[in-house]
Amino acid sequence: DIVLTQSPGTLSLSPGERATLSCRASQSVSTTSLAWYQQKPGQAPRLLIYGASNRPTGIPDRFGGSGSGTDFTLTISRLEPEDFAVYFCQQYGNSPRTFGQGTKVEIK
Amino acid sequence: QVQLQESGPGLVKPSETLSLTCTVSGGSISNSYWSWIRQSPGQGLEWIGYIYYTVSTKYNPSLKSRATIAVDTSKNQFSLRLTSVTAADTAVYYCARIRWVQSPNDAFDIWGQGTMVTVSS
């Protein structure tokens, strides 16, 4: 199985600041088959990024994804109050699909 | 737009079978790949498996063949059966749609709200 390790575990930032979240895979993720999700308490995850860098319709452009191979990054350019949540990465190029353990972005 | 809703018992006894249903509204179940995913505090998010129409299924080997996913096209629903449950199967269970209609190798773009299942006697 591909193990996804996210860092940091918790990111304490203020609204307006830039957030940089990392996701490292234990082996290369095929054809940039990596997604990022946002999850708020009591809610299902929401897809933010697919294909490492593509945003679905309706996702604000302050969310950006990059990377390939084993190292991927989610960047939130300027944090809005609604962005404080937990973020997960997930790979879907290999079976079984696997998720990272999550990074919590909290208000400083 | 497509919406998903999970339903099923919230409490299952150890060694029994967990059965959940996901109802698809706003679209046809025949046009996409569908998955079950669960989330527990100890295990995080875990992919259980996917199904396409009645044609193909794939499961996470970690479940040791205990999981079965099926489609009921007449009701626009798909289901999950998980046999021989233990306390380790206690989790929030989500159904989800795989984004690309032509391949299972894509992200989960639509999720149900999730249903909590507790395994306890």
Cα–Cα distance, B30 to B75 (Å, whole number): 11
Q: What is the DSSP string of A4-56?
A: EEEE-SEEEE-TT--EEEEEEESSPPGGG-EEEEEE-TTS--EEEEBTTTBPP
pLDDT, mean of residues B70-80: 96
Question: Distance, in angstroms, between A3 CA and closest chain B CA?
Answer: 12
Q: Residue B61 phi/psi, 5° resolution?
A: -60, -20
* Cross-chain residue pair B45–A43, CB shorter than 8 Å: no
End-to-end CA distance of chain B: 39
Q: Measure the CA dihedral A72/A84/A77/B107, to 10°.
A: 40
Measured distance CA(B99)–CA(B106) in Å, rounded: 6
Subunit contact B58:A95, Cβ cutoff 8 A: yes
Instruction: Judge whether A89 and A36 are in contact, CB under 8 Å.
Output: yes
The C-alpha of A107 sits at a distance from chain B's nearest C-alpha, in angstroms, of: 22
> Contacts of residue B47 in chain A, CB cutoff 8 Å?
96-99
pLDDT recorded at residue B41 = 80
Residue in A with minimal Cα distance to B44: A101
Q: Residue B111 and residue A33: Cβ atoms within 8 Å?
A: no
Contact B53, B106 (CB under 8 A): no
Blockwise average pLDDT, block size 10, chain A, 108 residues: 97 98 95 93 97 96 96 97 98 96 97
Size of interface A-B (CB pairs under 8 A): 51
* Residues 42 through 101 of chain A touching chain B, CB cutoff 8 Å: 43-47, 50-51, 56, 88, 90, 92-93, 95-101
Quick check: A88 and B112 CB within 8 A? no
* CB–CB contact B60 A101 (8 Å): no
- In the sheet with B67-72, reading across from the earlier edge strand, the strands are B3-7, B18-25, B77-82, B67-72
d(CA B65, CA B78): 18
Contact (Cβ atoms closer than 8 angstroms) between residue B110 and residue B3: yes
pLDDT of residue A33: 95
Say whether B69 sits in a helix, a strand or coil: strand
When pLDDT is cut at 50, 70 and 90, the band that residue B103 belongs to is confident
Which tens digits make up the pLDDT trace of B4-53? 999 999 999 999 999 999 999 999 999 899 999 999 987 799 999 999 98
pLDDT at B31: 85
Facing residue for B45 by CB, picked from A47, A93, A99 = A99
pLDDT value for B54:
78
